[in-house]
Amino acid sequence: MKANYLRLLLLSTTLLVGACAPVQQTESSLNYGLTLSPSGLDPHLNASAELGIPLSSVYDTLVFRDPDTGEFVPGLADSWKISPDGLTYTFELRDDVHFHDGTPFNANAVRANIDYIVDPQNHSQKAVSMLGPLVEVVVLSEYRVSFQLSEPFAPLLDSLSQVYLGIASPSALEEWGPAEYQFHQIGTGPYRFIEYIPNDHILLERNPDYAWGPSIYHRQNAAIHQIEFRFYEFEATRSLALESGQIDIIGEVPFREAERLSDDSRFSLYPTPIPGQPMQFYFNTRVSPTDDPLVREALILAVDRERIVDTIFGATSPTASGPLSDVLFGPLLPNRLTAYDPNRAGALLDQAGWVDLDGDGIREKGGSKLALVLVTPTWGSNPQAAQLIDVSWEILGASVEVISAPAFGPLKEQQSNGEYNAIGLNFFGTDADLLRPSYSSSGLYNWSGIQDPDLDQLLNMAASEVHDPSLRASFYQSAIDRMERAFVVLPMRDYVDLVVARSDLIGLRFSLQGWFPFLIDLTFSS
């Protein structure tokens, strides 16, 4: 009797799997797992990094950046010139490019794209701010266009190298408008946009006409015929999807799973550094006790950052060494962040007047306890880091309350309340100007509340230094030096995207931003 039930159970489970049809895996099609299903897929209007994974191969940009050197290389623009005052960028455009819908690419197309982005009715979330103090785009001739600025803005070329400022077919923008264009995207890139069903899939097909790729692409034309992207938002399902053959490649694999899969000969692990700010916590300099630099320094020294990063993220993730990632920004970091030193941390607190007089393990000063509120985002393993930071600070003699914020809205809400001592927030980016919103006195994300006119001036001078990169770098070195001496941020971990792919998928490389693969270079080894 019991054996019968068992047989029945086995039979039904077999039927269940049998019902899943086998995938027709031809060499020229690829299934790519995305980890977030973006709300809104228009690169000009929406901001998610995930959308760039498919779309950076649908669009070309005026310029590209070499992922190895960071140098700018020609894209849709053959060459460019920046006026001595830094206010005019003139681009000579290629004359041999057409969009997937046949529309020819020219100066008017560039202008139409920028007009679409800056139109306030279209609510651009990211691209519009990447343009900085842009006044207008002027069409000088069919293949010559200039960008006019009201003040010098050094990050502009970097902005123009990103998918958010990729050039779309002006006739498609006109035809579909901001609400529907995301479903009918037309670019000039190595892949054509075929279909997007929200939360289900995105489909791309190779563009056989592609003949104007930048020098950073290794191949002239895409080898893989068709790429289907599906969304795996639930972390635990990513390695299952790889192992079951549903997908050939996916990023953001949890590190233990990634390590396990890298031991499997069927898969290869690509730890891909993402430049920008590290995972970090800002200290609130406006409330006690973190208004005292001695306390902030002590709180940094009390955290064994290397060990925490190693525990949570494994060997593939480097400990952060400053307010910017070591990858891409290494030369800007004076690297003065001191190593773990709990004894010195305790001595600093003593010096600041925080002493445990009643022997309850918590330090006091003037009748009040050393109490800290730590606000952590719930994404990107921040809570695990916050938990271990909490323990370090309690050992130091503080009582710590950890508050979790499940999305940016609630996080901002906590920040607006102002009742926090430390709060987690970071942005990714490939230009050091991303420090400005976070550390200048009036910056929208100045969540530490640092007010330092000299720092403001350094960051502004760096942003407008268009012609001399080494001078610009020296401004940033001085700025970061000031920031680190003020102890306003606890940097934890430089971000690394753990991408796992089938071992027979070859040619995988990523753009300077780290997130975006060069799909054109991918092939399957036979």
Partner 1 sequence: MVPLPNRSHLQLLTVIGRRLIEGLFTAWAAVTLTFFALRIAGGDPADNLLAQGLASAEQAQALRQQLGLDHPLGIQYLEFMRNLTRGDLGISLYTARPVGRVIGEQLPYTIALALSGLMIALALGFVFGALAAWRERTAEGRFAAAMSDLATALPVAFTGILILYLALMLSLAIGRPMAAPGLLLPAIVLGITSSGPIGRVVQAGLRESLNSEYILAARARGLPGGARLLWHAVRPALSPVISLIALEAAYLFSGTVVTETVFSRPGLGRLLVKSILEADFPIAQALVVLAALFYTTSHILADLAAIMLDPRQRRAG
Q: Which residues from 119-158 bind partner 1, rule CB under 8 A?
A: 120-130
CB of 476 to partner 1, least distance (A): 17
Q: Which stretch binds partner 1 (CB under 8 A): 89-97, 342-350, 437-445, 494-502?
A: 437-445
Nearest partner of 113 among 145, 72, 75, 151, judged by Cα: 145
Pick between residue 123 and residue 336 the one whose CB is nearest to partner 1: 123
d(CA 500, CA 507): 13
264/291 with CB nearer partner 1: 264
φ, ψ dihedrals at 41, nearest 5°:
-120, 10
For tokens 């930048």, name the residue: 214
Piece of 21-29, 464-472, 481-489, 494-502 that binds partner 1 (CB under 8 A): 21-29
User: Shortest distance, CB of residue 214 to partner 1, whole angstroms?
Assistant: 25
Within 13 Å of residue 130, how many CA atoms lie on the same side as its CB?
24
Told to check if 21 binds partner 1 by CB under 8 A, we report: yes
- What residues from 196 to 235 belong to the interface with partner 1 (CB under 8 A)? 197-200, 230-234
| Contact by Cβ (8 Å): 477, 334 | yes
Q: Whose Cβ is closer to partner 1: residue 9's or residue 391's?
A: 9
For the CB of residue 177, give the shortest distance to partner 1 in the complex, in Å. Answer: 9
Residue 410: CB minimum distance to partner 1, A: 6
Under rule CB under 8 A, which residues in 48-87 are in contact with partner 1? 48-49
Q: Tokens 């940097």 appear where? A: 491
Query: CB of residue 14 vs partner 1: minimum separation in angstroms?
Result: 7
Q: Give the nearer residue to partner 1 in terms of CB position, either 240 or 471.
A: 240
CB-count burial class (<10 Å; 0-12, 13-18, 19+) for 448:
buried
Phi then psi for residue 505, to 5 deg, are -90, 115
Q: Which of residues 28-47 bind partner 1 (CB under 8 A)?
A: 31, 37, 39-40, 42, 45-47
Count of residues engaged in binding partner 1, rule: CB under 8 A: 71
CB 208, min distance to partner 1, A = 26
DSSP states of 306-369: HHHHHHHH-TTSPBP-SSS-HHHHGGG----PPPP-HHHHHHHHHHTT-B--SSSS--EETTEE
Binding-residue pattern over the window 375 to 414 for partner 1, x denoting contact by CB under 8 A: -------------------------------xxxxxxxx-
How far is it, in rounded angstroms, from Cα 233 to Cα 56? 21
Among 29, 108, 221, 246, binds partner 1 (CB under 8 A): 246
Q: Which is nearer to partner 1, 272 or 414 (CB)?
A: 414
* Amino acid at site 341: D
Q: CB-wise, 66 or 228, nearer to partner 1?
A: 228
Residue 357 makes contact with partner 1 by CB under 8 A: no
Confirm if 463 and 479 have CB atoms less than 8 A apart.
no
> H helices of 30-74, where?
52-55
- In angstroms, give the least distance from the CB of 363 to partner 1: 34
Residue 17 within binding range of partner 1, rule CB under 8 A: yes
Q: Which of 260, 221, 188, 284 is nearest to 490 (CA)?
A: 284
CB atoms inside a 10 Å sphere around CB 462: 25
Question: If binding is defined by CB under 8 A, does position 262 make contact with partner 1?
Answer: no
Among residues 7, 8, 11, 14, the one that binds partner 1 under rule CB under 8 A: 14
**CB 274 → partner 1: shortest distance, Å?**
13
Least distance to partner 1 from the beta carbon of 397, Å? 34
How distant, in Å, are the alpha carbons of 257, 316, 382, 424, 488 from that of 279? 21, 15, 8, 7, 14
Tokens linked to 10: 């086995």
